[in-house]
Amino acid sequence: MKKFKTLLGMSSMMLILAACGDNAEETTGNNEPANENETEENNGNNEEGNEEASGEWMSDVTVLTGGEQGVYFPLGGAMAQIFNDEVDDVQATGVSTGASVVNINDIQDGMGEFALVQNDIAYYAQEGTVMFEESLDNFSGIATLYPEVVHIVATEDSGIETVEDLEGQRVAVGDQGSGTEANASQILEAHGITYDDINPEYMDFGDASGGIQDGNIDAAFITAGTPTGAIESLQANRDVVIVSINEDVIGDITGEYPYYTEYEITSDVYGTENDATTVAVQAMLIASNDLSEDQVYEMTKAMFENLDVIEGTHATGSNITLDTAQDGMPIDLHPGAERYFDEQ
């Protein structure tokens, strides 16, 4: 069966961070099982669930993030830094990508080991629904992280105040096949609007922000943690409005798509005149099933013991906690992450 494919935005600037470790083919210290029997026992305990425990230790780890104007990019870079600094024999690199759908496809194809994605997109991928034509099964969950808020942004002088006002306008709906694009399509559909009723433009957050500023597009869907750099950059040059979704329509959306929740963007977030009511999904971290249980355990532990590094990189990092790490988790945990949480 044919799988939905998109191209990885490898031409974007890589965030490469120094790492420690001697030889990619050797593991030492806590990364090595105590004995052969222990490895076999761990593998046996996970036979009924996923098959991650049979994976291997990988020294070179790629963390797939998102566009450079979004939140995934700095957070993924901070995670890569933690992995490099705290986990022996790991050299991690944060890479800018087209985000959720691209990341899942690349994890499936062995082109990355960790990735930031939306929880709804992870669910669709494993179910083989919406933008995925077959079930993808080479990844598991690590943790849910923070709310990913669907922003519908325009300038105040555009005259766009409601979702219905988008009809006939040039609207950025996210990269083609991205999580944002899925959100845009579903929200427009809930208002009785299709892409035939607008002039859709497929672009990342940075291009969408620049397009609005230059007058090349009228509005944009941006699904990201708050605040997101693309909107802050736009607000620095133009007065913006965040369009609200009608409460009745929010009820329809959350009823049909259970991974959405209602969310309020207060005016102080972007310096807008009014609060905006919209919907949100959850950002989450996934890992390839090709990684061993021991490696994912060590990397999950390192991340949660150094959350101050992530919070220091972006304000959204303050939302990442152990208490909420499994809220809205739509897929099975990787055995390494599950072992870490079981110990807490």
> Who's near 215: CB < 8 A, 6+ residues apart?
none
123 and 27 together in one domain: yes
Which string of DSSP letters, residue by residue, matches 29-97? GGGS-S-HHHHHHHHHHTTTS-SGGG-B--SEEEEE---TTSSHHHHHHHHHHHHHHHSTTBEEEEE--
CA dihedral sign, ordered 164, 169, 171, 176: positive
Domain-embedded: residue 2: no
pLDDT the model gives residue 54:
52
Q: Which domain holds residue 180?
A: 148-281
Domain-embedded: residue 241: yes
Residue 268 phi/psi, 5-degree rounding, is -75, -15
Domain stops at, among 281, 310, 329: 281
How many other β-carbons are positioned within 10 Å of the β-carbon of residue 31?
19
41 and 101 together in one domain: yes
Domain-embedded: residue 25: yes
pLDDT, mean of residues 182-211: 96
Identify whether the C-beta of residue 317 lies closer than 8 Å to the C-beta of residue 78.
yes
218 and 330 together in one domain: no
pLDDT the model gives residue 9:
37
Higher-scoring residue by pLDDT: 48, 169: 169
Residue 269 phi/psi, 5-degree rounding, is -65, -45
Helix or strand (DSSP H, E) at 14: strand 14-16
How far, in Å, CA of 250 to CA of 256, rounded?
10
pLDDT at 30 over 90: no
Q: Which of 137-141, 173-177, 272-276 has the lowest mean pLDDT?
A: 173-177
297 and 254 together in one domain: no
Residue 147 phi/psi, 5-degree rounding, is -70, 135
Residue 229 phi/psi, 5-degree rounding, is -60, -35
Strand partners for 94: 15, 63
Which string of DSSP letters, residue by residue, matches 210-266? HHHHHTS-SEEEEEESSS-HHHHHHHTTS-EEEPPPPHHHHHHHHHH-TT-EEEEE-
78 and 172 together in one domain: no
How large is the C-alpha radius of gyration of the chain?
20
Best mean pLDDT range from 69-73, 173-177, 296-300: 296-300
pLDDT the model gives residue 145:
97
Residue 341 phi/psi, 5-degree rounding, is -65, -35
Report the mean per-residue pLDDT for the chain: 86
Q: How far is CA 19 from CA 36, 72, 252, in A?
A: 28, 21, 48
Q: Tell me, what amino acid is at 252?
A: D
Domain stops at, among 256, 281, 306: 281
117 and 195 together in one domain: no
pLDDT at 49 over 60: no
Q: What is the number of domains present in the chain?
A: 2
pLDDT tens profile 243-298: 999 999 999 999 998 889 999 999 999 999 999 999 999 999 999 999 999 999 99
